Amino acid sequence: MKKTAIRFLGIGLFLAGTIIQLEHRLSNEDISSAGDAQAYKQSQQELSEVKKQLAQLQLNLNNAQKEQPKQNETEVSKQEVSSPTVNTFSLAIKSGMTSSDISLVLEEAGVIQNKMDFENYIVDQGLSSRIQIGTYEVDSKMTIKQITELITN
């Protein structure tokens, strides 16, 4: 009887130790997983904010490039004689066209200066899925934001 009692006591202690060890490991994994998930969520939010800031900076740069610095009276009068041409284009968006397809067409037509600026703005603003099929009149005076608003509304 003493032998069996000692065996059962040993088995009981072994099982209790195993259960305690499993409990300890599972609680540590839950804590680290929650910390990892929170850090990941925070980094995603920061990344999203940085992308929005970058898109805004790209728009500001594009607008600044389109605006010409103020010049003295004689340069202004020369400019009035030879004013820059405005490229007007009829943009036809068909089913299956992506934002990169549209940006390439606009760049080739001379409506935008850099297709990557346009494409990055659409993607960063989350508007690539809102592009509407149709034909739109666009010109080189329009900003990237104005063109995007036109084709996504």
Write the pLDDT tens digit of every residue in 6-16. 888 888 888 88
What percent of the chain stands above pLDDT 90? 29
Among candidate residues 77, 72, 55, the one with its CA nearest the CA of residue 126: 55
Cα–Cα distance for residue pair 142/108, rounded to 1 Å? 16
Ramachandran class of 131: left when φ > 0, alpha when ψ lies in -120 to 50, beta otherwise? beta
State the chain's mean pLDDT as an integer.
82
pLDDT of residue 3: 81
Q: Answer yes or no: are the C-beta atoms of 99 and 128 closer than 8 Å.
A: yes
At 33-63, the pLDDT tens digits run 666 778 888 888 888 888 888 888 888 887 7
Q: What radius of gyration do the chain's Cα atoms show? A: 31
Mean pLDDT of 116-143: 91
Amino acid letter for position 90: S
Kindly state the average pLDDT of the residues 145-149.
Answer: 92
134 φ, ψ (degrees, to nearest 5):
155, -175
Compare 72 and 134 and report the one with higher pLDDT. Answer: 134
